[in-house]
Amino acid sequence: SRLDRLPGRFSDLRRQYPAVDALICNAGYGRFGSLEEFSPTQIQQMIDLNLTSKILLVREFLPAFKARGGGYIILMGSEAALSGGRYGAVYSATKFALRGLAQSLREECSGSGVRVGIINPGMVNTDFFAGLSFRPGQDANAHLTPEDVAQAVWLMLSARPGAAIDEINLSPQKKVIEFRKG
């Protein structure tokens, strides 16, 4: 499977870029529906992308960060990591697990100078929703922008070395969901 090739690819990346001092684990996708609508393959694919790939990436770079006495790992969670929602069982499960990973790594790494954080954005107006039956409201107060998320990442990265921002929950001012017809 493609997942079996990831450790080798991540190892190649680490060797190619030995000076990396921050990982921002942002890849992911969402599929929504009742649990019984998901095939075992679809469930595994979401777990692999939203969780397992991030675990393997961090696993590859973490020893070098610890040896250097510093670095930053930022995981991109979701508001779905804070409260499960209807038709989001698999997606929420991957994001809850990612949040647990961040919390555990934070404890594991606190004495090594490696800072670990997670950002849990609400609905961000991106192509994430292109294949879904819903999207965030288009009013500027009803969705986040990629720039909002980037500012949260920068806040974590720019904190002084002795300070770690463990978690940022980022929400649009209003929660509006628009459903597509058809």
Q: What angle do CA 26, 32, 37 make, to 5 degrees?
A: 130
Q: What angle do CA 134, 137, 138 make, to 5 degrees?
A: 120
Contacts of 140 (CB under 8 A, 6+ apart): none
- The pair of structure tokens assigned to 122 is 């609400």
Residue 54 burial (CB count, 10 A) = 23
**Residues taking part in catalysis:** 91
Residues 6+ apart with CB under 8 A from 111: none
All residues at 6 or more sequence positions from 159 whose CB lies less than 8 Å from its CB, including other chains: 115, 165
